[in-house]
Structure 1
Amino acid sequence: MKTNHTLLFILLSGLFISTLKAQDLKPQFDDIVAQFYNDANAPGATILVAKDGKPIYRKAVGKSSLELNVDMQPENVFMLASISKQFTAVAILMLQEQGKLNLDDPITKFLPDYPTQGKTITVHHLLNHTSGIKSYTSIGNLYEVARKDFTLDQLIDYFKNEPMDFNPGEDYKYNNSGYVLLGKIIEVISKDTYENFIENEIFKPLNMLASRYGNNRELVKNRVEAYEQDESGFVNASYLSMTVPHAAGALISTVDDMLKWQNALTNNTLIKASTLQKAINGSQLNNGEHIFYGYGLGETTLKGSKGYAHSGGIFGTSTNGIYLIEEDVYVIGLSNCSCNDIGAVTEKLAAIAIGKPFPTMKDVIELPEAKMAQWVGAYEFEDGAIRHIFLKDGKLNSMKESETNTPFEIYPLSENRFMFEDSGIEYKFSKTDDGKRQAIFIASTENIGKAIDKSMPLPRKEITLPHNTLKDYIGVYELAPNFNVTITVNKNQIFAQATGQGQFEIYAENNTDFFAKVAAIKMTFNKDALGNVDSFTIYQGGEENIAKKIE
């Protein structure tokens, strides 16, 4: 057989170059991971970055077991939490392609006894969280419910008679009940369990040998221990019967298996390209309004690059996966503590992988005050936000008019480009031909602001409250299904930590009203008739939501 040496050289050269590029990026990847995981004796994470379907970075940090002092390994197995939903959605789409259901089928075609309260709820409504069915994770005390074992029918009975939140298709509200019902539909059509369907139709064909439906009794090689964090430090995660998350979040896997899964989506191994498009490009409400969530996956934009993503949060677990389409870059992060902001890690790693890294404090330069002063003033942006740029103690600051009027220092990257600390958000200032100031606010998208004549409102002032007052607010509050805020206190300081995010301090205005400095957030703690704290109201982005105290 004659060998084509030229072709072989080209192929080997391409492999060599891609390997060199991956090696060049490794120090940058390591720096990002170290920013978030800098304690080798704390719970950790496994992280994988892939380009063109192949790993270019694979990392394990921290401990898989604190009690046994076991280091994390890339092969460790984690709960996927809500990342499980994309498997459920694809299973439904596989059944659609097989002609066994239509997305516009009413769910009563498969669940004839389900009480739809006179409404037409379709499979589509379950997939994109627009059914209006109440999410069972927002009913009662989730920590108590999570300790019980349910059959699938018992789990459905738990929520099926609850009042609906809205009419089908009228609104979007993230909903775990809908995905449990999808799991039931899969069982009805396949005449098998959800667990067996996912195992036989997805995991085995894709050779995802470390993946399965989670089970507390089964011995799982390389499975991590799950942890939470309270005012005393790290603790074992609250108990969760894996019968409770079911098709909404009960699968377990590894970063390596998740790459196999993403490659199957990219290569249309399980469903057609045209079918995948329905899942990854968002969807519409009845009135035509576009929502970011499609079927088990949500649209995302990172530094102008389009893709899709999903995160997960469950007791002692935080997960996030992001895929950028044009660049064919996939990043998956799995963490064994709900205290860690794995989403920020994966986002920053993805930005590096596509050659659009977020600036860091290492990129900050010294800039004379006179150079910064040229950008001082008020700006009105396209989205209606008004931001004030001002100098304080020789430093440039930004304050958005909001519930909190919180100022943030912004750091110079050049004469006209500034960044917020470790946030990935920037300003780029310029002057028009007629000398007027303008600014581009760069986050996931770009927003142009024009200079206006407006006085800056006063920032909020904080007071110090005694420990005895603050300790009444300690607890876990449910803001949304699978999304809690933990309030802790250390002496005269009070902290908030949302599922899968970092801890931040909140500051008292009075005995019940608090605000954050890391973001424009205001919180008011509420008491019941007996004077016990039972919830807080959070004000952010013009919206008002109540978080119920569950622990």
Structure 2
Amino acid sequence: MRVFRNAFVSAVLAFASPAVAEIPKAQIDAIINEVLAESGSPSASVAVVQDGRIAHLAAFGQARLDPPVVATTETRYGIASVSKQFTAASILLLADDGKLTLDDPVGRYVPNLTDGDRITLRDVLNNVSGYTDYWPQDFVFARMKLPASRDDILNGWARTPLEFPTRTEYRYSNTGFVVAGMVVEKVSGQSLMDFQRRRIFDPLRMTGVTENDSAPLKSPDAANYTRYGAGALRPADKEGPGWLFAAAHLAMRPADLALWNISLMDASLLKPASVAALTQPGVLKSGQPTSYALGLRVSVQDGRRVWSHGGALSGVHTDNRIWPDEKLALSVMVNTEDNQAQSVIADRLAFLLLPSTEDAAIMRGLLADAAAGRIDRSRLTPNADAFFTPQVLADYQTSLSALGPLRLLRRTGGSKRGGMTYASFDAVYAGKVLWVSLRMTPDGKIEQFMAGPKV
């Protein structure tokens, strides 16, 4: 890369991204409050891990509406399907003990399962077993409001014909994690919660963890809320006892989840080989990898490894993301299910805290300059220089400055064409999304910078 381009990128990165050692706590808090106000969610609680330590905890809003209870960093929320990685970790701990292997057939431990002699523990944790998901709905269906035993769930969804041949497809399924939880209990001789408390929560000092299966959380912990259509907030239905076992059974503070995230990044609880297994994507019979490991989603975004999982129960949402190489993690919990406030908060905090990729950093700088009515013509090709007439630049300044600060930049595409690199993004502002595009020549000159409203 040319010296010119490196110098420019360094300057833009300094503008766009805070120093690693400086957590912008006021900006984090402002983002949380802004999203709460816009979404109408009663409360949000957030933990930020940076450099492998808890760097910031914040909670805002109401944990309960009637009678009112203010959310604090001690407030516990159901973490829903984020619980799955703890069930998978329990299996790995037993494997480390030499008591089972991931490739053991599930029928060795749980009787009368469909194809139990062929489907393995790895299959159920990878969501490739073929067992039908017992809860694909986004609401609590009538039967689910009543208590259920493990056999009730298995008889209805894992002792029936497979939805697809094992390892030929990936389909998310809560059912497989019920099977895995039963294996933990059978092999360890303890309840799943007792095993996890002794082997995971206590060693990591996750002192706020409780179970969220047998009954609703009580005050001062968060109550769960929903909306029907665009109506008022209403108390959400609670799943009957037994339905959340091993798949969505835990409640905790974001700080507790942060301690778990740190342990994964440091391999301080699970052995490094077990962390590698936990984060290794499943592979289908075709050889095609999936994006799901053992209770964790794994991906590469903007060149960075990400381990993540969301969680949704009736009236609560969690978003947990780990960037292991950057030693950064975000845990966001909200007590409503009718919007994606938790993901909006996580997206915006990631945008704030992660260094931008090179072309994204350039785009951020160009948008900021254009909003101020300026552009560095020494960076432009002759074509781009001619494009930015005084009228074009004035229109960019008038329209962009009215939008306020840039909230998020989402990559939508990238390619090479005509000897140039191309990148496109959605630029998200308050109440407005723009499409933006960037074309650059091999010597680092800008051939195209364009933006317009996205319909």
Range class of TM-score, shorter chain: 0.7 to 0.9
Give the Å deviation of 1:112.
3.0
Q: Does the CA-based 8 Å contact 1:199-1:212 persist in structure 2?
A: no
Match of 2:172, SS state, is coil
Q: Does the CA-based 8 Å contact 2:114-2:161 persist in structure 1?
A: no
CA distance in 2, matches of 1:140, 1:148: 17
Match of 2:321, SS state, is strand
CA distance in 2, matches of 1:246, 1:88: 10
CA distance in 1, matches of 2:138, 2:414: 50
Q: 1:21 to 1:308 in 2, by over 3 A?
A: closer
Q: Does the CA-based 8 Å contact 1:311-1:321 persist in structure 2?
A: yes
Q: 1:301 to 1:367 in 2, by over 3 A?
A: farther
Give the Å deviation of 1:303.
3.7
Dislocated runs of 4+, deviation >4 Å: 19-24, 39-42, 139-142, 215-221, 357-364, 420-423, 426-432, 447-450
Match of 1:233, SS state, is coil
CA distance in 1, matches of 2:39, 2:424: 36
**For residues 469-514 of structure 1, what are the alpha-carbon distances to aligned partners after superposition, in whole Å with 9 as ceiling and x for unaligned?**
xxxxxxxxxxxxxxxxxxxxxxxxxxxxxxxxxxxxxxxxxxxxxx
Q: Is residue 424 of structure 1 aligned with residue 423 of structure 2? A: no
- Aligned residue in 2 for 1:173: 171
- Aligned residue in 1 for 2:101: 102
Q: Is residue 365 of structure 1 aligned with residue 363 of structure 2? A: no
Q: 1:277 to 1:412 in 2, by over 3 A?
A: farther
- Aligned residue in 1 for 2:11: none
Give the Å deviation of 1:219.
6.7
Q: Does the CA-based 8 Å contact 1:302-1:351 persist in structure 2?
A: no
Q: Does the CA-based 8 Å contact 2:348-2:408 persist in structure 1?
A: no
| Corresponding residue to 1:440 among 417, 423, 432 | 423
Match of 1:103, SS state, is coil
Q: Is residue 259 of structure 1 aligned with residue 231 of structure 2? A: no
- Aligned residue in 1 for 2:158: 160
Q: Is residue 74 of structure 1 aligned with residue 80 of structure 2? A: no
CA distance in 1, matches of 2:356, 2:165: 42
More RCO (CA 8 Å, sep 6+): 2
Q: Does the CA-based 8 Å contact 1:180-1:247 persist in structure 2?
A: yes
**For residues 188-239 of structure 1, what are the alpha-carbon distances to aligned partners after superposition, in whole Å with 9 as ceiling and x for unaligned?**
1112222222222222222222102225548756311100122321111122
Q: Does the CA-based 8 Å contact 1:49-1:331 persist in structure 2?
A: yes
Q: Does the CA-based 8 Å contact 1:143-1:238 persist in structure 2?
A: no
- Aligned residue in 1 for 2:210: 212
Q: Does the CA-based 8 Å contact 2:114-2:162 persist in structure 1?
A: no
Letter in 2 for 1:425: R
Q: Does the CA-based 8 Å contact 1:281-1:298 persist in structure 2?
A: no
Q: Does the CA-based 8 Å contact 1:129-1:172 persist in structure 2?
A: yes
CA distance in 1, matches of 2:146, 2:369: 51
Match of 2:242, SS state, is coil
Give the Å deviation of 1:427.
7.3
Match of 1:283, SS state, is coil
Give the Å deviation of 1:253.
0.6
Q: 1:222 to 1:23 in 2, by over 3 A?
A: farther
Give the Å deviation of 1:331.
0.8
- Aligned residue in 2 for 1:37: 36
Q: Does the CA-based 8 Å contact 1:89-1:127 persist in structure 2?
A: yes
What is the total number of aligned residue pairs between the two structures?
393
Match of 1:46, SS state, is strand
Which range moved further: 71-80 or 52-61? 52-61
- Aligned residue in 2 for 1:93: 92
Match of 2:101, SS state, is coil
Q: Structure 1: any 5+ residue segments left out of the alignment?
A: 1-18, 376-393, 397-410, 414-419, 451-516, 520-551
**Aligned-pair Cα RMSD in Å:** 3.9
Q: Does the CA-based 8 Å contact 1:82-1:249 persist in structure 2?
A: yes
CA distance in 1, matches of 2:414, 2:132: 46
CA distance in 2, matches of 1:324, 1:131: 28
Q: Does the CA-based 8 Å contact 1:39-1:62 persist in structure 2?
A: no
- Aligned residue in 1 for 2:9: none
- Aligned residue in 1 for 2:12: none
Match of 1:115, SS state, is coil
Q: Is residue 275 of structure 1 aligned with residue 287 of structure 2? A: no
Q: Is residue 25 of structure 1 aligned with residue 10 of structure 2? A: no
- Aligned residue in 1 for 2:57: 58
Give the Å deviation of 1:307.
2.3
CA distance in 2, matches of 1:140, 1:348: 25
Which structure features the higher share of helix residues? 2
CA distance in 1, matches of 2:151, 2:416: 64
Q: 1:331 to 1:97 in 2, by over 3 A?
A: same
Which range moved further: 29-38 or 130-139? 29-38
Match of 1:327, SS state, is coil
CA distance in 2, matches of 1:104, 1:173: 19
**For residues 306-327 of structure 1, what are the alpha-carbon distances to aligned partners after superposition, in whole Å with 9 as ceiling and x for unaligned?**
2211110110011011111111
Give the Å deviation of 1:55.
2.2
Q: Structure 2: any 5+ residue segments left out of the alignment?
A: 1-17, 375-379, 385-393, 427-436, 441-452
| Corresponding residue to 2:192 among 177, 194, 198 | 194
CA distance in 1, matches of 2:90, 2:413: 45
Letter in 1 for 2:175: S
> Structure 2 matches for 1:229-378, cutoff 5 A?
229-230=227-228, 231-338=230-337, 339-356=339-356, 365=371
Letter in 2 for 1:285: L
Q: Does the CA-based 8 Å contact 1:49-1:350 persist in structure 2?
A: no
Which range moved further: 107-116 or 89-98? 107-116
Q: 1:27 to 1:300 in 2, by over 3 A?
A: farther
Match of 2:336, SS state, is coil
CA distance in 1, matches of 2:206, 2:83: 14
**For residues 292-312 of structure 1, what are the alpha-carbon distances to aligned partners after superposition, in whole Å with 9 as ceiling and x for unaligned?**
111111113344322211110
Letter in 1 for 2:210: R
**For residues 146-190 of structure 1, what are the alpha-carbon distances to aligned partners after superposition, in whole Å with 9 as ceiling and x for unaligned?**
201112222222222333221111110111001111011111111
**For residues 229-281 of structure 1, what are the alpha-carbon distances to aligned partners after superposition, in whole Å with 9 as ceiling and x for unaligned?**
22321111122124102101011111111122122223323321122112213
Q: Does the CA-based 8 Å contact 2:185-2:191 persist in structure 1?
A: yes
Give the Å deviation of 1:102.
1.3
Give the Å deviation of 1:364.
6.2
CA distance in 2, matches of 1:76, 1:211: 11
CA distance in 2, matches of 1:47, 1:352: 14
Superposition TM-score, scaled by structure 1 size: 0.63
Q: 1:518 to 1:277 in 2, by over 3 A?
A: farther
